Amino acid sequence: MNKGIKFSLKFLSLLSVIAKGVFAFAAAMFLFVGVVIAIPPLRDQVTTNMPIGGRSIPIDGSLNNMTLAFGALILEIILALILFSIANSLKNLINNMQQGHFFTANNLRYLKQILNNMWELISLQGIFIVGALGFDFYAGEYTFNSDFTSLLIMFVFLAIFYTTYTLIKKGVVLKEDNDSFI
């Protein structure tokens, strides 16, 4: 490997470690907020509104607002954990490439994990869109102002990763055939 590729892989490895830390911190913070909202004495000390669907929902003792707040927090924790899993798989994939292992079963497994996590992200984004529609209906406003650009971008990334997965899968088969021939 030349120096440029080694530098790029080290830089990407560093970025994936930073991303893992950020996503783990985000999941911990969302969990902390959930605990604060769940315990009534703590909730009474914190007077705040939670932005959901572009609107500000007061966090008080009403069941509808609490259900909405906990639902949003659970989805945000799931989102942070999915992004952490993607960053972890990317870190492992980059480490294998730094060691010169390109067409291996481990790389195939990491790419498959990334593909599965991307499908989970797309599903979660669909849940967010349906939730925004439901929230608009609940609030009595029928203006839908969601942007589908990020959903389209996710499908493009999914296609790129699926192509990479297929190439690595075929490369693993060719490598096994080559090794058995020798």
Q: What is the pLDDT, as a whole number, of residue 168?
A: 92
Q: What is the pLDDT, as a whole number, of residue 112?
A: 95
Average pLDDT over residues 5-25: 94
How many residues does the structure list for the chain? 182
Tell me the whole-structure pTM to 2 decimals.
Answer: 0.82
**Per-residue model confidence as pLDDT tens digits over 129-138:** 887 777 777 7
Q: What is the pLDDT, as a whole number, of residue 107?
A: 94
pLDDT confidence band for 156 (50 / 70 / 90)? very high
Mean pLDDT of the chain: 85
Amino acid occupying residue 89 = S
Q: How far apart are CA 166 and CA 21, in angstroms?
A: 30
Task: Based on DSSP, count helices (H) and strands (E) in the chain, helices before strands.
Answer: 5, 2
Q: Given a cut of 80, is residue 104 above it in pLDDT?
A: yes
Lowest-confidence region among 27-36, 81-90, 91-100: 27-36
Q: Given a cut of 80, is residue 115 above it in pLDDT?
A: yes
CB 36 within 8 A of CB 43: yes
Helix, strand, coil percentages (3-state) for the chain, rounded to 5, are 80, 5, 15
Q: What is the pLDDT, as a whole number, of residue 47?
A: 61
For residue 49, what are the contacts with CB-CB under 8 A and spacing of at least 6?
56, 57, 58, 59
Q: How far apart are CA 92 and CA 143, in angstroms?
A: 44
